[in-house]
């Protein structure tokens, strides 16, 4: 973007964040700015949110002597080196704003505060002796401002120091502070012991304004947050038999914390309009979402078997089964769900979509007028117009949010503004995007100070998979919300959007984990294990529902990772992951109580240094059908439904080393007629209620998980392999400390390599693979086969529900 000096010295003019440079007093020596874009190489360490400045006289000279100004020579804070920065990449600040923002310390937090503006604008109005609320350890306390300004000396060569609010706590909140008005031995105001606190502006709110809680994960608004309908609205409502009728809203009424709608029904097909009725809001939808029509093209079984094509008026809407979407039931009332059916409904025109909602605010269980179109829990099914759906905004980038469903509303200036905004979420990288955005030096997550365990775990989970994206959005405790925000905005989004996360972002997360009391003082300095970090994040902080539920026959055990253990009698030499998991479950008498959306497996080891096997063969698909409790099983000989399972046959070499040994009654008799197997004691296989009896030709469905990442360790250093596509050769290799620039004061160079050579070994016959000498294996393949520490699998179907 170019700039003309005749434009009233306006520095920026594009996008929603346009602001005009303020005229400085003669006493001002510098003009201050904030980066709104990450700077390119070789200045990539300066990210959006970093402050910079230029001497006022130099700025005026540039304006006067340059007809069009594209670059401005500024100095970034923490350095005295001048660098040319695009005018489009900065926004102007007053000195007071710069001082307030400098107190935040982290670029990510700073840019969010600048863009949201509300708290910054409030802070600019605050004066001494103003009554305020201040956040102290997650609690809002009453207080009075006694001091505004710096509490530390400015750091050379920065021209200013951060400005803080010194607050004396009042009333019932006395004694909840951290000081008596002193900071680092210097007194800024006087108050009682533990009655003072110094806080940045993001933790301070005027008393007249209701304080905002620290940011939480995005969630749907409460059902009755707003009155969604008004008198006179045309609506469609559903009766107990799923029969829909139309009518007009007469009034809304609150009863027992629920909203009821009084409706005057239209005349029905029998010519009777009936009496006015009152039904819960949950069973009412605006008529413009379910307008009546006259066509019906249902297939005999209620499901349209043809590939879905957009109809008239629906051009550009690209949804398919299992798409995640959102629907506005009314202003302020958005619901989220998964597409389970697409077709036409009797008596309704246009293409309809059957949704399975995340919340029980629907009207059915997947049936429509007595005909089942899909299955879901009661009150989680909803049928709406196709044009009423749009892609789930929680999983969209800003451009995608403006995508096919609203292409007519696109605007070039808005596009440019959005391109400079930190988006709420960024989708995982596709195979092509992963190769373009991740491969190379200074790619991935930059390691620092024994962080490789965390770097590799985060890269594996979030670069090309969304299976645990629920961590980024679920509701969490107020005091832990900043950790979730850092994980999303400073690590996951930059990784997917830019292909690079600087080490300071990960260190910020480590410091937050340590300061929050979730870990000991060594968390920012010493070596840890990936499972320790994952358990901390998923269980203790974000309280994610356990990924793994194991059945021992009598009780259910829950966890997040599964450590594979083998007894001493195993006969495995060159095992696959499938064999290791089956042998571990068999020896421990375990079964999966339910299909996991994500299965994290730790390989058998004698500590981190001693491997039980010199090579482990990755299983690209993990068949868990036989590992499910109370699940129909297939006879391994004839393929019919099995009735018994024999744990003694599991170790019989005649049957091979893979798969549990289940038989139908006929095959079991034949197998156990052998003299060496007469002492075996088969046990009955429990079938789900209502399933066809054992011995029937009904083959049970196979449940399979897909491998998406492998963490490896060698000499206490973790690296990661990530599968970026469906092919056996679609692999990338990540090392957060692959190289280093400089010595003690230098930095690590994270690197990502494409490694298709891995696929060549995965495609080899097992006998040929066994003869491969590890040190002679091509590229980094040896690391995958010989150093595997943790395998990560995902369920393509269950990941949609978790």
- Catalytic residue numbers read 452, 717
Identify whether the C-beta of residue 195 lies closer than 8 Å to the C-beta of residue 211: no
Ranges of beta strands (E only) in 159-230 are: 164-169, 182-183, 186-187, 196-199, 204-206
Cα 333 from chain centre: 22
Identify whether the C-beta of residue 743 lies closer than 8 Å to the C-beta of residue 437: no
Rg (CA), the chain: 31
Using a 10 angstrom Cβ sphere, with 0-12 exposed, 13-18 middle and 19 or more buried, the burial of residue 704 is: middle
Closest CA to 60 of 14, 85, 24: 24
Identify whether the C-beta of residue 402 lies closer than 8 Å to the C-beta of residue 419: no
Phi-psi category of 553—alpha, beta or left, where left has phi over 0 and alpha has psi -120 to 50? left
User: Is the preceding omega at residue 519 within 30 degrees of 0, hence cis?
Assistant: no
Identify whether the C-beta of residue 106 lies closer than 8 Å to the C-beta of residue 511: no
Length of the chain: 802
Ranges of beta strands (E only) in 17-122 are: 30-35, 51-55, 71-76, 82-86, 90-93
User: Is the preceding omega at residue 157 within 30 degrees of 0, hence cis?
Assistant: yes
Rounded CA-CA distance 355/374 in Å is 9
Dig out the tokens for 272 from the structure.
């009777």
Dig out the tokens for 43 from the structure.
């200045």
Identify whether the C-beta of residue 127 lies closer than 8 Å to the C-beta of residue 145: yes
Instruction: Name the residue with tokens 């259910």.
Output: 556
Identify whether the C-beta of residue 294 lies closer than 8 Å to the C-beta of residue 349: yes
Please give the DSSP secondary-structure letter assigned to residue 313.
T
List Cα–Cα distances, 738 to 555, 717, 750, 751, in angstroms: 45, 11, 5, 6
Rounded CA-CA distance 610/649 in Å is 31
Rounded CA-CA distance 120/764 in Å is 61
Spell out the alpha helix ranges (H) of 374-451.
398-401, 412-418, 431-437
Strand pairing report for 258-265 and 277-280:
antiparallel
- Max Cα distance, the chain (Å): 104
Handedness of CA 476, 477, 480, 482 (dihedral sign): positive
Handedness of CA 687, 688, 692, 696 (dihedral sign): negative
Rounded CA-CA distance 622/601 in Å is 11
Closest CA to 683 of 638, 625, 730, 642: 642
């Amino acid at each position: 973007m170019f700039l003309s000096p005749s434009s009233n010295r306006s520095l920026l003019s594009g996008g929603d964040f346009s602001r005009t440079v303020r005229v400085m007093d003669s006493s001002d020596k510098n003009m201050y700015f904030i980066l709104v874009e990450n700077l390119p190489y070789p200045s990539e360490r300066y990210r959006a949110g970093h402050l910079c400045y230029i001497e006022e006289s130099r700025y005026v000279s540039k304006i006067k002597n340059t007809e069009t100004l594209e670059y401005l020579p500024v100095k970034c804070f923490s350095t005295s080196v001048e660098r040319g920065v695009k005018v489009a990449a900065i926004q102007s600040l007053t000195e007071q704003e710069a001082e307030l923002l400098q107190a935040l310390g982290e670029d990510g937090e700073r840019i969010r505060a600048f863009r949201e503006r509300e708290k910054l604008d409030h802070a600019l109005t605050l004066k001494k002796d103003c009554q305020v609320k201040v956040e102290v350890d997650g609690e809002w306390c009453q207080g009075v401002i006694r001091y505004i300004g710096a509490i530390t000396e400015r750091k050379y060569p920065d021209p200013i120091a951060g400005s803080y609010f010194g607050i004396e706590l009042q009333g019932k909140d006395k004694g909840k502070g951290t000081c008596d008005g002193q900071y680092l031995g210097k007194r800024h105001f006087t108050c009682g012991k533990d009655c003072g606190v110094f806080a940045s502006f993001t933790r301070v709110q005027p008393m007249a304004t209701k304080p905002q809680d620290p940011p939480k994960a995005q969630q749907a608004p409460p059902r009755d947050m707003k009155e969604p309908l008004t008198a006179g609205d045309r609506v469609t409502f559903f009766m107990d038999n799923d029969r829909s009728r139309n009518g007009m809203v007469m009034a809304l009424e609150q009863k027992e914390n629920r909203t009821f709608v009084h409706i005057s029904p239209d005349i029905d097909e029998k010519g009777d309009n009936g009496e006015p009725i009152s039904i819960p809001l949950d069973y009412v939808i605006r008529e413009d979402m379910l307008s009546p029509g006259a066509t019906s093209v249902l297939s005999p079984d209620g499901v349209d078997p043809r590939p879905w094509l957009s109809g008239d008026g629906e051009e550009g809407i690209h949804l398919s089964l299992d798409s995640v979407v959102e629907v506005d039931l009314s202003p302020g009332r958005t619901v989220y769900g998964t597409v389970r059916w697409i077709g036409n409904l009797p008596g309704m025109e246009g293409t309809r979509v059957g949704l399975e909602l995340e919340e029980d605010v629907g009207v059915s269980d997947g049936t429509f007028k007595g005909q089942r179109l899909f299955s879901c829990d009661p009150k989680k099914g909803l049928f709406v117009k196709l044009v009423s759906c749009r892609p789930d905004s929680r999983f969209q980038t800003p451009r995608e949010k403006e995508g096919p469903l609203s292409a007519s509303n696109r605007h070039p200036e808005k596009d440019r503004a959005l391109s400079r905004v930190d988006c709420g979420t960024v989708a995982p990288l596709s195979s092509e995007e992963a190769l373009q955005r991740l491969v190379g030096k200074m790619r991935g997550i930059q390691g620092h100070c024994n962080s490789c365990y965390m770097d590799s775990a985060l890269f594996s989970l979030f670069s090309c998979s969304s299976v645990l994206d629920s961590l980024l959005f679920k509701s969490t405790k107020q005091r832990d919300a900043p950790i979730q925000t850092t994980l999303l905005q400073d690590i996951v989004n930059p990784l997917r959007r830019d292909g690079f996360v600087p080490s300071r972002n990960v260190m910020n997360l480590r410091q937050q984990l340590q300061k929050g009391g979730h870990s000991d003082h060594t968390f920012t300095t010493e070596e840890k294990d990936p499972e320790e970090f994952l358990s901390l994040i998923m269980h203790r902080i974000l309280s994610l529902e356990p990924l793994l539920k194991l059945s021992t026959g009598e009780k259910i055990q829950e966890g997040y990772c599964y450590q594979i253990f083998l007894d001493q009698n195993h006969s495995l030499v060159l095992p696959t992951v499938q064999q290791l998991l089956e042998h571990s479950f068999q020896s421990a008498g375990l079964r999966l109580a339910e299909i996991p959306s994500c299965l994290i497996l730790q390989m058998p080891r004698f500590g981190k240094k001693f491997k039980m096997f010199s090579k482990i063969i990755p299983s690209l698909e993990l068949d868990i059908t036989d590992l499910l409790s109370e699940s129909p099983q297939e006879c391994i000989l004839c393929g019919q439904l099995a009735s018994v399972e024999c744990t003694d046959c599991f170790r019989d070499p005649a049957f091979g080393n893979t798969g549990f040994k289940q038989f139908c009654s006929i095959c079991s008799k034949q197998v156990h007629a052998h003299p060496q197997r007469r002492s075996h004691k088969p046990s009955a296989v429990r079938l789900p209620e209502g399933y066809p009896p054992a011995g029937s030709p009904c083959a049970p469905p196979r449940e399979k998980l897909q491998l998406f990442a492998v963490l490896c360790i060698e000499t206490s250093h973790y690296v990661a392999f990530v599968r970026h596509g469906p092919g056996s050769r679609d692999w990338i290799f990540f090392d957060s400390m692959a190289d280093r620039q400089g010595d003690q004061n230098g930095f690590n160079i994270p690197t990502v390599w494409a490694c298709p050579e891995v696929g060549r070994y995965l495609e080899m016959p097992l006998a040929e693979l066994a003869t491969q000498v590890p040190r002679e294996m091509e590229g980094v393949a040896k690391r995958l086969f010989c150093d595997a520490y943790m395998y990560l699998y995902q369920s393509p179907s269950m990941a949609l529900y978790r």
